[in-house]
Amino acid sequence: MQAIRSILVVIDPKLSENLALKRARLISSVSQSELHLLICDDKQNHVEYLDGLRLELENQGHVATARQAWHGNLHQTIIAVQQAEGCGLVIKQHVADNPLKRALLTPDDWKLLRYCPCPVLMVKTEAPWTGGNILAAVDVGNSDIEHRTLHSSIVRHGYEIASLAEGTLHVISAHPSAMLSAADPDFQLKETIEARYRNASRKFQDEYDIPDGQLHIEEGPADALIPRVCHQLQAVVTVIGTVARTGFSGALMGNTAEVILDALESDVLVLKPEDIIDHLEGLVAQR
């Protein structure tokens, strides 16, 4: 995250507090990233408001730009500006939709997470990051190269956020229940499953000096375990990833990330593998 040179900050003037801007300031203060402020609106002029935010940032020592734009809908506007400015991170405040709306229509934030070609930080709370717990969620049961690369990225980003905030990094991986009928003997007992998952986690434990007490290997569905452990740790940020499992023709977000977005009581950083990012950038370029 410290290598990100440019950050797109989505500003919603209707919200009482710019939580996304608060997080952007923190990251920029360490990474020296440029901040690009964006209001997505084609009905009301917000130039004066944006200029005020930009001047405030510049007086604090940040390099900042600001613009208002609209390209048909919210997520397409954000992605168009992200590509135009070459931003390596999008930060947006997440406001949960009501259950009825969510059942009828894919929320804008889900679409942004699906189609944005760079990492997205969804800001959900006012809790300060400083000294807090950072939770990185991986699926070490999948050991193909795509997943291993994504796991490494998730843990590395979690480590960098923990360093930035002088916090503590925790890692979680959910494992399946034991089945006596499983062909692989390792999956016939809970103890051998857990041992296998801990062994698969050893590489990044050693690389980032993560003690066993901060590695949470637990039985159960990820969409239930991750929010529970996040709550128990009172994590301030949860880092999750997604891998396309059914080709690029379908939705690119995995169900786990979408289901837990509203359930998590922390900010959420969502990452994708490089091949998905390349594909999404190609789609944007074709528009």
Per-residue pLDDT tens over the stretch 258-276 = 677 778 899 999 998 765 5
Q: Is the pLDDT of residue 212 over 50?
A: yes
CA 117, 118, 124, 126: dihedral to nearest 10 degrees? -150
- Enumerate domains of the chain plus CATH numbers: 6-93 (3.40.50.620), 133-286 (3.40.50.12370)
Pick from 80, 111, 14: which is nearest to 67 by CA?
80
pLDDT value for 159 = 95
Model confidence over 118-154: pLDDT tens digits? 999 999 999 999 999 999 999 887 777 777 888 889 9
Model confidence over 213-254: pLDDT tens digits? 999 998 888 889 999 999 999 999 999 987 644 443 334 345
CB atoms within 10 A of CB 286: 6
Question: Which two structure tokens, joined as six digits, stand for 87?
Answer: 């931003």
**Res. 44 pLDDT band, cuts 50 70 90:** very high
pLDDT value for 249 = 36
Classified as helix, coil or strand, 15 is coil
- Mean pLDDT over 40-45 rounds to 95
Model confidence over 4-15: pLDDT tens digits? 899 999 999 998
Model confidence over 56-105: pLDDT tens digits? 999 999 999 999 999 999 999 999 999 999 999 999 998 766 665 555 54
Contacts of 254 (CB under 8 A, 6+ apart): 242, 243, 245
- Contact status, residue 125 vs residue 23, Cβ threshold 8 Å: no
Q: Is the pLDDT of residue 53 over 50?
A: yes
Question: Which two structure tokens, joined as six digits, stand for 286?
Answer: 């074709």
pLDDT value for 248 = 39
- Phi, psi torsion values for 21, nearest 5 degrees: -70, -35
Question: Which two structure tokens, joined as six digits, stand for 95?
Answer: 């406001």
What global pTM score does this model have? 0.87
Question: Which two structure tokens, joined as six digits, stand for 129?
Answer: 């990051």
The mean pLDDT of the chain is 84
The two beta strands, 168-175 and 133-137, are: parallel
Q: Name residue, tokens 């001047």.
A: 55
- Mean pLDDT over 176-187 rounds to 58
pLDDT value for 191 = 76
pLDDT value for 284 = 59
